[in-house]
Amino acid sequence: MTSSNGVVLDVDSLQMRYDTADVLRDVTFQARRGEVLVMLGPNGAGKTTTIEILEGFRGRSAGRVDVLGTDPEHGDEQWRARIGVVLQSWRDHAKWRVRELLQHLGSFYAPYSTHRTERPWDTDQLIELVGLTEQAGAKISTLSGGQRRRLDVAIGIVGKPDLLFMDEP
């Protein structure tokens, strides 16, 4: 659920500490539906750590985090189905074909369809959306670097997420 003012990300005083090292100190921001939020900073600044906390893959040391109306530390599978993730690097599924992989991954989202959002994307529509129509039957190992990044995006949005996280797209 999104808040009444359209806020989909609400982060207040987020902190992350590993032993004696503060990785994140008092990080505070909001993002509303339809906005694009970009985090820039040098290596080691905590960008990936912040994203992993927002996705629910890492706990935090302190602060408040609300993503789509839920604390990510307590997000259930229905909440996770509303989140899309494009990783820094995706495990190479070289033997899969583009269409087969997207159909396979999409099948995990079907149980989370709602009257508002039918999940997953139709595979051929998704392939067209990311510009891989000519490569739909190709083995992933034959894709160029740019085509693999398009596939990464398709993997991130296959479930028609309400919110998309992209780590170094």
Only one residue has tokens 């359209």, namely 6
CA dist., res. 130 & res. 82, Å (int):
20
- Boundaries of domain holding 129: 85-163
pLDDT for 33 equals: 94
Angle separating helix axes 98-107 and 145-157, nearest 10 degrees: 20
Cβ atoms 95, 83 nearer than 8 A: no
Q: Which residues pair with 165 in a beta bridge?
A: 85
| Number of domains making up the chain | 2
The secondary structure of residue 157, as a DSSP letter, is: H
pLDDT for 44 equals: 86
> Model's pTM, two decimal places?
0.87
- Asked which of 31, 48, 75 is the last residue of a domain, the reply is 75
C-alpha of 19 from chain center = 28
- Residues 60, 28, single domain; the answer is yes
CA dist., res. 138 & res. 164, Å (int):
26
10-residue mean pLDDT series, the chain (169 residues): 78 94 94 93 90 94 97 95 84 86 96 93 97 97 92 95 88
- Residues 61, 110, single domain; the answer is no
pLDDT for 87 equals: 81
- Asked which of 26, 56, 75 is the last residue of a domain, the reply is 75
- Residues 114, 67, single domain; the answer is no
- Residues 63, 108, single domain; the answer is no
pLDDT for 93 equals: 76
- Residues 13, 37, single domain; the answer is yes
- Residues 91, 151, single domain; the answer is yes
Q: Is residue 138 part of a domain?
A: yes
**Burial environment of residue 75 by CB neighbours within 10 A (0 to 12, 13 to 18, 19 or more):** middle
pLDDT for 168 equals: 75
Strand ranges of the sheet holding 7-18, from the earlier edge strand across to the other edge: 21-32, 7-18, 62-67
- Pairing outcome for strands 7-18 and 62-67: antiparallel
